[in-house]
Structure 1
Amino acid sequence: MNAKSDQDLLLDHNYDGIQEYDNPLPGWWSGLFVGTIVFSVLYLLYHHSGVEGRSIYDEYEREAAEVFEKRFAELGELSPDKETILKYANDPKWLAVGEAVFKANCVSCHGDGGLGNVGPNLTDDYWKNVESVEDIAKVIANGAAGGAMPAWKNRLSHPNQIVLTAAYVASLRGKGGGGGKPPEGREIPPW
């Protein structure tokens, strides 16, 4: 190249004596940019189009349901009766499952450890909507107080989660140490 053509390729701006050539971007770089834009549009359409089963939340729900199905296969279908709830309230392995469900879904209203927040304190002897240990599972499944406590039977992935959560809630009674929200409801006899 001659000096004249070099002058034509230089851009007009000059910073501290440094000049820049007016060269086009490399083809692979432009292709990568266009490919990224196309991929982003396709990704957005695929994952955020509102079709069920494609979001990470749907994938999590599927995988969690599979895990619960495998774990609950050894239990079979649990009945929400007094003997079953009290049996699992004293079984650390399955009590941990109930505690996990409680922490994932109930802590926002009932507080950490069931000490009460917006919902009632579950560690004292005063209960609302519960007269026996079986009523805990009914309240979890069907809700209570005109919607203040939502029904969970259609929200949890397996019916055994209700029974194990009821067992965990039953195990909280007497563990508050006098702390938490003041008593609400009526005093009920021990389980």
Structure 2
Amino acid sequence: MSYQPNDDSETDKLSGHMYDGIQEYDNPTPGWWNWLFVASIAFAPFYLLVFHSPYQENTLAAQYDRAYADNLRLQFGEIGTLEPDADTIIQYMDDPKWIAVGQITFKTHCVTCHGKEGEGISGPNLTDNSYLHVKQIEDIAKVVQEGAKAGAMPAWGNRLHPNEVVLVASYVASLRGTNTAGGKAPEGNEIPPWPKQ
């Protein structure tokens, strides 16, 4: 037995669709609901740009990493001003506390060209054994400081603390030989292994 409307006003509200003997009312979604749906779609690209940007992550973990590195920079007084020589770079390659500063500096400034893991995007792959402008380990700090390729690799010496230059050089040196999957093909020449500490 199906439901029969009592008057014409109820008939106007019916959808004309019947399922299992039940007449359906034509109840459209409220306008505010539709606008909320449209607004969420319009908001999505901005959310993606801000929180999932390939250039700088704004997740809580990334913010923590940056705050941690900022705190470590305050402790630079403990190590003084580092010299960008081979011994210093090698020494800090194996120091987890200070290599974290180099890693965060890399993730903040270098991922645009070199990728998150150093695999290379427009810049060279830093995880293989071939280098364009590096023949010795101390050349990494020189390239970071002075730039290379007529400005394609910008000079960071005037924007980074000298210790950050050394520590990011240590981090980049530590990437050698990791051969990240999906990395760019080797560029330049293969060079001898880094000297031992």
TM-score (norm 2): 0.61
User: Aligned with 2:79: secondary structure?
Assistant: coil
CA–CA separation in structure 2 for the residues paired with 1:132 and 1:124: 15
CA distance in 1, matches of 2:133, 2:123: 12
- Mapped partners of 1:64, 1:92: distance in 2: 13
Quote how far apart the aligned CAs of 1:148 are: 0.7
Match of 2:93 among 81, 89, 93: 89
* Largest Rg, 1 or 2: 1
- Map 1:14-93 to 2 at 5 A: 67=71, 70-93=74-97
Amino acid of the residue matched to residue 118 of structure 2? Answer: G
CA RMSD, 1 decimal: 2.0
> Tell me, which stretches of 5 or more residues in structure 1 are unaligned?
1-62
Matched to 2:166, the amino acid is V
**Any stretches of 5+ residues in structure 2 without a counterpart?**
1-66
Match 2:116 to one of 112, 125, 139: 112
When residues 153 and 64 of structure 1 are mapped into structure 2, their CA distance, relative to the original with a 3 A threshold, is farther
Rate the CA distance shift 1:181–1:65 in 2: closer, same or farther, 3 A.
Answer: closer
Letter of the 1:184 partner, please give it.
E
Residues 18-68 of structure 1: per-residue CA shift (max 9 Å, x gap):
xxxxxxxxxxxxxxxxxxxxxxxxxxxxxxxxxxxxxxxxxxxxx999846
Aligned equivalent of 2:171: 168
| 1:142 counterpart letter in structure 2 | E
The 3-state SS of whatever aligns with 2:74 is helix
- For 1:160 and 1:140, locate their aligned partners in 2 and report how far apart those are by CA, in whole Å: 12
> 180, 186, 189: which is aligned to 1:186?
189
Once the two structures are superposed, what CA deviation does each residue of 1:59-92 show, in whole Å capped at 9, x if it has no partner? Answer: xxxx999846521000101011111101101111
State the percentage of identical aligned residues: 58
* Large movers: runs of 4+ above 2 Å: 63-70
Structure 1 counterpart SS, 2:83: coil
Count of matched residue pairs: 128
